[in-house]
Every structure is written in C-alpha cells, then in structure tokens.
Amino acid sequence: MANTSELLRGHTDTILLAQLAKGDSYGYQLSKTVSEATGGALEFKEATLYTAFRRLEEAGAITSYWGEASAGARRRYYSITEAGKEALSEGRKQWQSVRGMLDELLGKE
Amino acid sequence: MANTSELLRGHTDTILLAQLAKGDSYGYQLSKTVSEATGGALEFKEATLYTAFRRLEEAGAITSYWGEASAGARRRYYSITEAGKEALSEGRKQWQSVRGMLDELLGKE
DNA sequence: GCGTATTACATCGCCTGTCAAGGTACTTCA
DNA sequence: TGAAGTACCTTGACAGGCGATGTAATACGC
C-alpha cells in the first residue's frame, strides 16, 4: 500500500533536527547516519533531503556554511539554531502524541 | 510546523481498517469513534474520510452498502474484506517498523 | 591518461493524501 | 420557522516525497 517514507512524511524535519542536535553535519553524512541507525530501513532520497534543508533554513531552524572539501567534494554543513531546538522539542512532543494515538487505534483485538 | 493529521498521513487507511475489523460502521460514526478514542486529538476531516473510503473500496479492502436511515439521514455502511484484513495486518507491521525507527532517531540524549 | 566509482550538492516536475469550501437532504426541537 | 444535528459527497489547492537529471571533484586500477 504505502512505503515507509510515505508513512514518515512530516517527520523528516524532526529527524534531521534530532541528528543535528548531536552536532553539525552535512547532507551525505546525515543520510548515511540515518540509514545505519535504522539498519537500512530508512534511506533519505537526495531530493527529499535537500528540500528539507532548504525548508529548515528558510524557517530559521538551521544555518549552513561551506566546509572543507574532503575525499571528493565540497560539503555544506548544517547547524541547528535555538529556534531549531525548540522546533525539535515540539516535534518530539508531537511524535509522542502520534505514537499514542496509533498504538491506541491499531491495537490488536 | 505540521499538524497531527499531516503526521499521520498514510496511516489513515490502516486506522479505518482497524476500526472496521471490529465490525461494520459508517463514516459519521467512525469519525466520532476515532475522535473519542484519541480524546479529541484526532478529528478526521470529512473530505479525508470519504476519499479514504473511495480509495479503500477501489483497492478491494472494503465493501459498502446502504443501511437504514435513522436519526436524520441515510447511512452508507462499510465492511472489511479478506483483502482488507491482510492490508490491515501489513499496515500494523509497517507501524511497528515506523515506530521503532522514530523512537530510535528521535531519542533524547 | 582514461574509465569507473564514490563523494557531494542541487533542481524540476510529477504524484498523492489532506483539507477548506461548498453542496444536498432529512429529523428534531424550541 | 429556523437552528442544530445527522449524514453523505465533490472540487481544487497545497505540500512533502521522489524519480530523473545535472554538476563537479577525488581516487584508483589498468
């Protein structure tokens, strides 16, 4: 019916903010990190990733800067802002709420 | 950033199937049931609800029939099919998977 | 020096689920 | 009479995810 990514729609920004809250990172690395953390179950598509960065930067949740080119290509690093931390906190709360609802509504009986 | 419904996008069909697995029901009642089960946190919009019914019926996951008019208006009842039960099972598995990923990715540290 | 792989970023246009807005129709009750 | 509740339905806009495509640098074997 639906694939994993569609079921995560809307949570992308929160996931990225949660990763950036651990420290600055760049697109390629973030996608690898997320992929590894989920055992390959979640693979951010590049288009998804970079549009999310644009969206988050536009919203003031992250800032970016060009870092050292290394092992092949230039990297654009992203850094979470204070506003981003608040958005992350809000996103986590929403996740708790959503999780509770679905657990309740999909209960096996 | 996003509202609850957007964060549940894609799970709507599974939610509806889970409710119908308990017994036939109709649109208005289902929306009330879901609303009550979530303490009012989730309110299916009518357009969302009825487009979901069309989609599920199209997919063969549910069938419908006109029931008795009662207390105001005619009702169209929906019934889950065998295919629908399989889709529900699949949907529940996907939810387990998604929940695991997000718990992992949004962990507080 | 050349082809291929890998790293790394970026955009365009389509697809799909949600929803605001609008509509129909019947019953109940003040 | 009219407001409120029950109950269904459709259209068009919107937004996020993504396939496809493009750029550009380094690394490595041959």
What Cα–Cα distance (Å) separates residue B100 from each residue in A4, A17, A24, B7, B97? 12, 18, 24, 16, 5
Kindly report the backbone phi and psi dihedral angles of residue B12, in degrees, each rounded to the nearest multiple of 5, phi listed first: -55, -50
User: Shortest CB distance from A10 goes to which of B7, B19, B107?
Assistant: B7
Q: Which domain holds residue B74?
A: 4-105
Chain A residues inside the 8 Å CB shell of B8: 98, 101-102
Helix axes A27-37, A12-20, angle to 10 degrees: 100
Question: CATH number of the domain that A27 lies in?
Answer: 1.10.10.10
User: Which residues of chain A make contact with B90, given a CB cutoff of 8 A?
Assistant: 1
pLDDT, position B74 = 87
What is the reported pTM? 0.92
b/e burial code for range B9-28 (CB count within 10 A of at least 16 → b): bbbbbbbbbbbbeeeebbbe
As a rounded value in angstroms, the CA-to-C1' distance for B108 and D26 is 37
pLDDT on residue A22:
96
pLDDT of residue B68: 73
Predicted local confidence at residue A72, as pLDDT: 67
End-to-end CA distance of chain B: 23
Q: SS3 of A77, please?
A: strand
If you measure CA to C1', which residue is closest to nucleotide C20?
B47
What stretches of B2-109 show up as alpha helix (H) in DSSP?
4-7, 12-20, 27-37, 46-58, 82-105
User: Domain total for chain A?
Assistant: 1
**DSSP code, position A2:** -
Measuring from the CA of residue B45 to each C1', which nucleotide is nearest? Answer: C19
User: For an interface test with A, which of B1, B80, B104 has the most A Cβ atoms less than 10 Å from its Cβ?
Assistant: B1
Name the nearest CA neighbour of A34 among B107, B101, B98: B101
Q: Which residues pair with B79 in a beta bridge?
A: B63
Long-range contacts of A22-26 (CB under 8 A, 24+ apart): A22/B109, A24/A77, A24/A78, A24/A79, A25/A77, A25/A78, A26/A67, A26/A75, A26/A76, A26/A77, A26/A78
**The tokens of B91 are what?**
């949907």
Task: Print pLDDT tens along chain B (109 aa).
Answer: 578 888 999 999 999 999 999 999 999 999 999 999 999 999 999 999 999 999 999 999 999 999 876 666 789 999 999 999 999 999 999 999 999 999 999 986 5
With a cut of 50, list the residues of chain A below it in pLDDT.
Answer: none
